[in-house]
Structure 1
């Protein structure tokens, strides 16, 4: 390892690429075989991360694969991942919303003072500073709001669990497992793709990165750069665009993982930066989904105005979390973009 900046370091080889003699198809097949093997070993459990990695590789490197087979398998993996992910999504929303309520209704002066950055007294009478209590402390609607959220989301999680169990025992799932076995033994390729040089993987990864940059350029990053403006309190209209950026961040990260044997150590830093962006956007997704769940709960017939008010405050709290995640992304993305790590030229070290 030299002391040169990472973006200019080159692994051994005349063109900056590591060459182990494999073609692009052989390198991709090895990666997919490893992921499919992991999927099969975990059965009957399913690792959603493995599903995403396989689906992302099939999408990014589609130019090398039999198109009909690849698209059909991608759609099956996406359907299964969405179905199995529902139970975890309900659990995330419930934990996030109850955590928000706990914070907003906190009346423990020691905890509240610590949260506010003040001193925590361990002896003698504990003061009860009003400014350190939660916004909804002692609010009469809070217990009913908590019970309503708990009941609705627990019911949703139970139904999703039942659906997941039915899916895992279905003939359709077993057929998918058989198709994953094919990834371990015989990857279906496009005609003429077999002799493509390994560098073709980098071109596919570069195209994925370019799609990510284009999607981010369409985001309102100027608005997101202003912290706590309240801009996102009542405007979920942009959530889907941000979610699509998260998908592209993950695809680009996974593409770099596929290319790591070829790009050498140069791929590690951008992959780590993309993983951090993905975590930020996962918080964005979780907060947006939790806010939506609180808003839906507030539409429950015959709830009291006090309960509806509490749910409205929780909704606003989660929309502020959405805004905070967007601000974090807007502060982090420019460094990654300026680094040149996501360009086809850098990937090939030209």
Structure 2
């Protein structure tokens, strides 16, 4: 395949790539229209929408990078429409992934640490103390009799149940129903006792421990995390529903039909404006140069620390600080995609440099964490929320900003490794 690209002219190589992407666009559109309304059909529809979005991105990026070789009027009219379509189709998936990311982070942050190993209880055959006195004993759990007497179970409890205190019962009654509903969806990190019985005090989270228990309470995050999860789920689910409606309206609009018609024309004939001595490599090199200049503006030295406290302070300082700080990284992400798609045009089916893929994955994680942190901050500004909920959202926001710094560190490692090994 690579030899075939060497034999073709620049216009032919560009035409083959654009026609392949346009064919993928039309195939994905057909699959999306033929998908059914059941669960399996909904999954096929989502996959077709993702494929449609990928083809739109590649066609739009190729028209941008190699526009001197194409009809300028046709290119400038189609590129914004492809960007609109790609952005419209990406919102629903972005909201779903953001909600999943935030709920998983809340589950991780609110889960209590593993309990420390407790000291073994003294053996019943321990030697007596000085003076012939035996060590004091206590009634067996679940009974009201001393050792040696006939065990009589407490009515309503299993024989070995730990009896919670009155404070624990009041806390469980006040916090149980909403947390129990969330625990069924998010796992056992926020689980409340399913039934009064054995190990009741050990399974209760968010309530005070039973008397004599060595486990400390988990604090306000256990209670606030459940309410924060419910708030985020309500807001992001609503946003996802609106994005889904917007995508359905886009598919039925005349604007989308005009884009599909232009792509169908592109699949059969590419409007070239190329001279016989045209070359793709200088245009691809220009895209790579723009990427290198944008990366040079990034604080890669500061991002070279796994725990970047200085950048984290700036990211948490003000409402507009994270957006201003993330903008150069988002620009590099866009330019890296242009460079990667240009390499696909030049190399054909040859695999792209894995270091470029690693850098792109790091920047994708950077954007996801940045958007998740912004969603947590937006939810924390909801009026009249409980202090525990605001506290949990603040911890979640800081956690996602840590993820942003970790993604920057991963990009820095991948990019410098690429620069060292590049010829």
TM-score normalized by structure 1? 0.80
Q: In structure 2, which of residues 361, 368, 373 is the aligned counterpart of residue 291 of structure 1?
A: 373
1:207 aligns with 2:289: no
Q: 1:176 to 1:135 in 2, by over 3 A?
A: farther
Instruction: Measure the CA separation in 2 of the matches of 1:76 and 1:244.
Output: 20
Instruction: Give 1:167's aligned residue.
Output: 250
Instruction: Give 1:22's aligned residue.
Output: 8
| Map 1:211-230 → 2, pairs under 5 A | 211-230=290-309
Between 1:223-232 and 1:177-186, the stretch displaced more is 223-232
| Map 1:169-248 → 2, pairs under 5 A | 169-190=252-273, 193-197=274-278, 200-230=279-309, 231-232=311-312, 233-234=315-316, 235-236=321-322, 237-248=324-335
Instruction: Give 1:36's aligned residue.
Output: 22
Q: CA-to-partner distance for each residue in 1:88-135, whole Å, 9 max, x for gaps?
A: 11111101100100100113749xxxxxxxxxxxxxx9x99xxx9998
Instruction: Give 1:100's aligned residue.
Output: 105
Number of matched residues? 302
Q: In structure 1, which of residues 39, 53, 57 is the aligned counterpart of residue 62 of structure 2?
A: 57
Structure 1 residue 201, shift from structure 2 partner: 1.1
Instruction: Measure the CA separation in 1 of the matches of 2:268 and 2:363.
Output: 35
Q: CA-to-partner distance for each residue in 1:198-230, whole Å, 9 max, x for gaps?
A: xx1111111111110000000011111122122
Instruction: Measure the CA separation in 1 of the matches of 2:220 and 2:422.
Output: 49
Larger radius of gyration: 2
Structure 1 residue 310, shift from structure 2 partner: 0.5
Q: Which runs of 4+ in 1 moved over 4 A?
A: 17-20, 132-138
Structure 2 counterpart SS, 1:96:
helix
Instruction: Measure the CA separation in 1 of the matches of 2:57 and 2:361.
Output: 15
Unmatched runs of 5 consecutive residues or more in structure 2: 33-47, 116-198, 204-214
Structure scoring higher RCO (CA < 8 A, sep ≥ 6) equals 1
Unmatched runs of 5 consecutive residues or more in structure 1: 1-10, 111-124, 342-350
Instruction: Give 1:142's aligned residue.
Output: 225
Q: 1:19 to 1:329 in 2, by over 3 A?
A: closer
Instruction: Measure the CA separation in 1 of the matches of 2:305 and 2:254.
Output: 51
Instruction: Give 1:308's aligned residue.
Output: 390
Instruction: Measure the CA separation in 2 of the matches of 1:252 and 1:339.
Output: 18
Instruction: Measure the CA separation in 2 of the matches of 1:180 and 1:319.
Output: 40
